[in-house]
Copies of this chain bind each other. A is one copy, B any other.
């Protein structure tokens, strides 16, 4: 980290490597043929550089993140961080919507996010967000987040129509205050910490789902490629996070409605409804059995996606177990994860071995 003498400027550089071996396939299966793939691979899954610091005033903070293995500018934000109760965020980056997405891939409890993420994420967007923390420490300790965005992800510079994306998140922190977006109870909370949140977002554009990529505006499996302004998306989310003495638990439930505005009101294909959710819990058994190394965590997760509530037998499920050894917290860790992945009534196992190193 560099700092000018008068503390007018500062700059910290951080690099991260995520090396993974996946067998028999890597990406989440969405169809029966996906389940049958046999493409075991070594890969550099993520290769990121982050620049972080402040400029001109200590409260003017910048943050840039680039992934060398997927050349798109992921994050570039200016945050006016003067008042805890109201911060202003300008640029491109993650919408403060749900924990699983906002938590960095470096700070996840598992090797990767659950099968819920790819279909429900609001992802990274370009725009403006206001957020803050009210009544810190009180029983009615509240965090809020509100944003307006172009709504086509990070890969497009111009909007497709004059509709913006709007998002909001409200979080109640009854115990332990506002938790940072970081999974696993590495910090060892002596006192329990508990956060509840709800969030909603709406957008009209040609996209039905987003990815952080130069092709960021994408189509949900089964939906035709959108034309400018064709799809209205309404989505909602409910989330619980809890950490105490090496134990951590979290839960999210997602609803998403895609309205094809080019179809007439009576057309049953006009609306698609989707649902998904996850629950995961982890523990450092050292705190029960001191013989077990202190930095070893075991965790389990169940997640499901119903990609169209109007259809039967299309439910996707994930049941995963992971063992993680934290050499230096989330900065240097090795995970081994087994996932049992089900689509309808067929299933397959996936194994992941990963080393995540930040320096």
Asked whether any CB of chain B lies closer than 8 Å to the CB of A7, the reply is no
> Shortest beta-carbon distance, A151 to chain B, in Å?
9
Shortest 3 CB-CB contacts between residues of A and residues of B: A55-B359, A39-B159, A68-B73
Query: Which residues in B have their C-beta under 8 angstroms from that of A76?
Result: 17, 44, 47, 68-69
Please state if A47 and B73 are interface contacts (CB–CB under 8 Å): yes
**CB of A42 within 8 Å of the partner chain:** yes
Chain A interface residue number, banded: 35 or more
Q: Are A41 and B357 in contact (CB under 8 A)?
A: no
12 A-B pairs whose Cβ atoms sit less than 8 Å apart in the complex: A9-B359, A19-B78, A19-B90, A26-B157, A26-B158, A39-B158, A41-B150, A42-B148, A44-B73, A44-B91, A55-B357, A56-B327
A78 CB contact (under 8 Å) in B25, B62, B355: B355
Cα distance A29–B275 when bound, in Å? 43
Question: Considering the complex, which residues of chain A in the window 1-53 have a beta carbon less than 8 Å from any beta carbon of chain B?
Answer: 9, 11, 13, 15, 17, 19, 22, 24-27, 38-45, 47, 51, 53
A residues at B contact (CB < 8 Å): 9, 11, 13, 15, 17, 19, 22, 24-27, 38-45, 47, 51, 53, 55-56, 62, 64, 66, 68-69, 71-73, 76, 78, 90-92, 126-128, 148-150, 157-162, 164, 327-328, 332, 355, 357, 359
Identical copies of this chain, number: 3
Please indicate the chain B residues that have their CB under 8 angstroms from the CB of A64 in the complex: 15, 47, 68
Cβ-closest chain B residue relative to A358: B55
A162 & B19 in contact (Cβ 8 Å cutoff): no
Residue of B9, B47, B149 near A42 (CB, 8 A) is B149
